[in-house]
C-alpha cells in the first residue's frame, strides 16, 4: 500500500437493519484527495444490491423510523458555515428534508418509539453569547470559568452547551428538554416513549475530576433523575420491557479498567452482566456502531466482546450468560439484528480488508458488498504473523507484518496510543503503508493495553516513575523476541515510533535502548509537570495513571520521559499538530528543545490548526498523506 491509496478506501459503519429484516442502511466514508475532504454518504442494501442512497457530501448516522417508512440521518450542507442538521427521507420517494436549523448543529438523533418525534442532541451558545452577531461573538475576549474550556477534536467548548431537544417528525418544530450548565449525550428512548435516558457530567468538580452518571428524564419535562452513582458511565440503552442498561466503571477514579455491562434495576441496584468475561463490550478501538447491546424481542441481546486483538459478536441472555456467535481473526464494527435474532446485519474488518457489509441468516454468513474489492485485489496487502512474548510469568501478544520476499528488511517497532487501547485483527492503514515501503512492522499489546482483562490493563498504574515499569519491560522484551523469532528482521536497522502514549513510550524506549537508529515521537506526552495543566484531560488523567504520585514533584517529573531525555542519542523526528488539545504542542516543543540542546539529530514537523490529536485518523486527507510521506522519508534516511 502507498500513502496516496488512502483515497481508494471505503469504510462502512453503523449498519441499521430495516424492520422488514431485508434492507440495511449504513454509512460509508471515503477520502476525496482532490478536494481534500471526506465524503460521507448513506448507502442502502435493498435485498439484491448496495447503492448510495444519499448524495452527501456529509451524511451519517442513519436511523429507521419504527415503521420503516422514513430514514432519519444527520446531514451537513456544502456551505462553509454549514452545521450538521437532522434530515428525514421518505422511502416512498422524494428528496430528503432538513428539519432543524440549530445554530451549532446536531450531533445525535433517535426516533421515538411512536415514530412521530425525534430526540436530538444540539449545541447552543451560552446565554451571554447567544444573541450576539457572529462578528461580535468572535471579537469578544473569552471568559473562562471552568475546565475544560477546550477539547480535542471539538475546539472551544466553554462557549456552548449540548442539550436534548424533541423534534416533530413532520413539521420540524422543536422543544428544548434539558438546559443548564451541563452537556448531554448518548440519548435513548424508553419503549413507552415517555422517558429518555442519557449520560451527563453534573457533579460540582466536573472537568477537574472524572465522573459521569446515567440520567432519565420525562419527555414532558421536569428534573432529570440520576440512575447511577458517580462513576464512568456511558452507552445507556433500554430492552423491550423497559429495563435500563449501561456499561461503566463504578469508581469515578477507576480508569483504566474493564467496563462491564450493567442492568440498572428499578430499585437502583446494579446487576453486573458481563463481569465474568473480564472484557469490554464497547471497545475503544476499533469503534463499534451501533454500540452497546442490541436487544431481541425476548429480552436477550447481541453484544460485541473485545478479546486478544479481536472483536467478536456474542449472544447474551437476560441473566448475562453469553455465547460466541461470530468470531475469527477480525473485528465486528457494528451489528443490527431483527426481533428474533435469526437475521443480523453487521460490518467487519480484518488486517487485509478495510471493511464490508455482511448478513448472518440462521447461522449462515454472507458478504453483501465489495466496497474495497478493487483496492484489495490491486494491492499486495500483508497478513500479520503472530508471536508471543513470555517473561516473568507474563505472556504478551505481538504481530509482525513482513513484506514479500526473502531478504533481510529494516524494522519499524510501532507502539499504540491509549495506553488503554490495542492493536489487533482489523485493517490498519499504517502497518500496510510501512510494509509497502519495505519495512518489517512489529507491534504488540503490552501491559496497559485493553482486551486482556482488568489485571493487564491496570498493571501499569502507579509505575511510570520506575525505569522497569511493566509496559517498558514488555516493550523491550518484544523487540528481543521478534528479532529471535523472525530472521528476516535486521537487528542492525531498527526504528521505533508511536503516537500519543506511543509517543511517550517511544521517548522512554530510546532513552533506555540506544540500538534504535531512528525514532518518531508523535503527539506524545513528554512531561506531566505541564501536561496536567494544559491538556483537556490533564487535571484528572494524571491522577488515574500516577495515583498519589501526582502530588509528589519528584514522582511527577520521573514519570515523564523528558526526565531521561539526556540519555537519548537516536535521531528523532517529533510530529505534532498546532490544534492538539489532548497533548498540547508544548509537549513536543519541550522534547525538541532538549534534543537540540544535546545535539541529537532531530527535527520537528508542526501540522497547522485545526489539525489536532486525531490527525492520523481524521485529519484532512492531504495532511494524512503528507504525514505518511514524512514518516517514511525519515526512517528511510536512517535505516536505508
| Residue 550 confidence class, pLDDT cut points 50, 70, 90 | confident
Predicted local distance difference test score (pLDDT) of residue 80? 80
Q: What is the mean pLDDT of residues 39-61?
A: 96
pLDDT of residue 127: 92
pLDDT of residue 79: 82
Mean pLDDT in residue range 11-34 = 97
Q: What is the pLDDT of residues 219-261, one digit of tens each?
A: 998 999 999 999 999 999 999 999 999 999 999 999 999 999 9
Count CB-CB contacts under 10 A for residue 64: 22
pLDDT over threshold 90, residue 14: yes
The stretch 338-367 carries a mean pLDDT of 97
Question: In the prediction, which pLDDT does 304 show?
Answer: 98
For 415-440, write each residue's pLDDT tens digit. 999 999 999 999 999 999 999 999 99
Q: Mean per-residue pLDDT for 305-323?
A: 97
For residue 589, name the pLDDT band (cuts at 50, 70, 90).
Answer: very high
Total Cβ atoms within 10 A of residue 320: 17
Cα-based distances in Å from 297 to 333, 363, 378, 537? 23, 18, 44, 40
Model pLDDT for residues 124-134, shown as the tens digit of each residue: 999 999 999 99
**Average pLDDT of the chain?**
96
Is the pTM higher than 0.75?
Answer: yes
pLDDT band at residue 81, thresholds of 50, 70 and 90?
A: confident
Sign of CA dihedral 266, 267, 268, 271: negative
Length of the chain: 640
Give the angle subtended at the CA of 624 by the CAs of 618 and 628, to the nearest 5°.
140
Q: How far is CA 637 from CA 1, 449, 490, 495, in A?
A: 20, 31, 16, 11
pLDDT at 392: 83
Q: Is the CB of residue 519 less than 8 Å from the CB of residue 571?
A: yes
Query: Where are the domains positioned within the chain?
Result: 382-639
Q: What is the CATH number of domain 382-639?
A: 3.40.50.1820
Instruction: Map residue 129 onto helix, strand or coil.
Output: helix
User: Region 134-138: what's the mean pLDDT?
Assistant: 92
CA dihedral for 281, 285, 286, 290, sign (positive or negative) = positive
DSSP string, 465-501: TSTT-HHHHHHHHHHHHHHHH-TTEEEEEEEEEEETH
What pLDDT is stored for residue 284 in this prediction?
Answer: 86
Q: What pLDDT is recorded for position 152?
A: 95
pLDDT at 465: 96
Predicted confidence (pLDDT) at residue 78 exceeds the cutoff of 90: no
Amino acid at each position: 500500500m502507498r500513502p496516496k491509496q488512502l483515497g481508494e478506501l471505503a469504510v462502512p459503519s453503523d449498519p441499521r437493519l430495516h424492520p422488514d429484516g431485508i434492507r440495511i442502511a449504513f454509512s460509508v466514508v471515503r477520502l476525496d484527495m482532490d478536494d481534500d475532504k471526506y465524503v460521507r454518504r448513506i448507502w442502502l442494501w435493498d435485498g439484491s444490491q448496495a447503492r448510495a442512497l444519499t448524495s452527501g457530501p456529509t451524511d451519517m448516522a442513519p436511523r429507521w423510523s419504527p415503521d420503516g417508512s422514513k430514514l432519519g440521518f444527520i446531514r451537513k450542507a456544502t456551505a462553509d458555515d454549514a452545521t450538521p442538521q437532522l434530515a428525514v427521507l421518505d422511502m416512498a420517494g422524494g428528496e430528503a428534508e432538513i428539519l432543524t436549523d440549530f445554530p451549532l448543529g446536531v450531533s445525535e438523533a433517535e426516533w421515538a418509539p411512536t415514530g412521530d418525534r425525534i430526540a436530538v442532541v444540539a449545541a447552543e451558545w451560552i446565554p451571554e453569547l447567544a444573541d450576539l452577531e457572529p462578528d461580535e461573538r468572535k471579537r469578544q475576549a473569552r471568559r473562562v470559568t471552568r475546565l475544560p474550556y477546550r477539547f480535542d477534536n471539538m475546539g472551544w467548548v466553554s462557549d456552548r452547551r449540548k442539550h436534548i431537544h424533541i423534534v416533530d417528525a413532520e413539521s420540524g418544530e422543536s422543544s428544548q428538554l434539558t438546559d443548564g450548565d451541563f452537556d448531554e449525550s448518548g440519548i435513548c428512548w424508553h419503549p413507552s416513549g415517555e422517558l429518555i435516558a442519557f449520560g451527563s457530567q453534573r457533579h460540582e468538580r466536573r472537568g477537574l475530576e472524572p465522573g459521569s452518571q446515567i440520567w432519565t428524564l420525562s419527555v414532558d419535562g421536569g428534573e432529570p433523575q440520576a440512575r447511577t452513582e458517580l462513576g464512568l458511565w456511558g452507552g445507556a440503552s433500554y430492552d423491550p420491557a423497559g429495563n435500563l442498561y449501561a456499561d461503566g466503571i463504578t469508581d469515578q477514579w477507576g480508569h483504566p479498567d474493564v467496563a462491564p455491562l450493567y442492568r440498572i434495576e428499578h430499585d437502583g441496584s446494579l446487576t453486573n452482566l458481563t463481569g465474568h468475561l473480564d472484557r469490554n463490550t464497547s471497545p475503544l478501538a476499533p469503534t463499534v456502531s451501533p454500540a452497546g447491546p442490541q436487544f431481541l424481542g425476548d429480552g436477550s441481546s447481541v453484544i460485541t466482546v473485545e478479546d486478544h486483538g479481536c472483536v467478536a459478536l456474542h449472544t447474551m441472555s437476560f441473566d448475562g450468560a453469553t455465547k460466541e456467535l461470530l468470531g475469527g481473526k477480525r473485528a465486528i464494527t457494528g451489528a443490527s439484528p431483527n426481533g428474533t435474532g435469526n437475521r443480523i446485519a453487521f460490518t467487519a474488518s480484518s488486517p487485509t480488508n478495510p471493511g464490508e457489509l455482511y448478513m448472518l441468516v440462521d447461522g449462515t454468513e454472507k458478504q453483501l458488498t465489495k466496497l474495497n474489492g478493487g483496492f484489495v485485489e490491486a494491492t499486495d496487502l500483508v497478513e500479520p504473523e503472530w508471536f508471543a512474548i513470555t517473561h516473568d510469568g507474563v505472556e504478551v501478544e505481538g504481530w509482525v507484518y513482513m513484506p514479500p520476499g526473502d531478504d533481510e528488511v529494516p524494522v519499524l517497532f510501532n507502539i499504540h496510543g491509549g495506553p488503554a487501547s490495542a492493536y489487533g485483527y482489523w485493517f490498519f492503514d499504517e502497518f500496510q503503508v510501512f510494509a509497502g515501503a519495505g519495512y518489517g512492522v512489529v507491534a504488540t499489546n503490552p501491559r496497559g493495553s485493553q482486551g486482556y482483562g482488568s489485571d493487564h490493563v491496570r498493571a501499569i498504574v502507579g509505575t511510570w516513575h520506575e525505569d522497569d515499569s511493566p509496559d517498558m519491560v514488555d516493550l523491550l522484551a518484544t523487540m528481543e523476541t521478534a528479532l529471535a523469532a523472525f530472521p528476516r528482521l535486521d537487528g542492525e536497522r531498527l526504528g521505533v515510533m508511536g503516537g500519543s502514549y506511543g509517543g511517550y513510550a517511544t521517548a522512554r524506549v530510546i532513552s533506555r535502548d540506544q540500538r534504535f537508529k531512528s525514532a518518531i515521537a508523535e503527539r506524545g506526552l513528554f512531561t506531566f509537570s505541564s501536561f496536567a495543566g494544559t491538556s483537556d484531560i490533564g487535571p484528572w488523567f494524571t491522577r488515574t495513571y500516577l495515583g498519589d504520585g501526582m502530588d509528589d514533584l519528584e514522582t511527577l517529573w520521573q514519570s515523564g520521559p523528558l526526565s531521561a531525555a539526556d540519555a537519548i542519542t537516536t535521531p528523532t523526528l517529533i510530529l505534532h499538530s498546532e490544534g492538539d488539545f489532548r497533548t498540547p504542542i508544548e509537549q513536543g516543543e519541550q522534547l525538541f528543545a532538549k534534543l537540540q540542546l544535546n545535539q541529537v539529530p532531530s527535527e520537528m514537523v508542526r501540522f497547522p490548526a485545526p489539525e489536532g490529536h486525531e490527525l492520523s485518523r481524521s485529519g484532512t486527507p492531504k495532511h494524512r498523506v503528507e504525514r505518511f510521506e514524512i514518516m517514511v522519508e525519515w526512517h528511510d534516511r536512517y535505516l536505508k
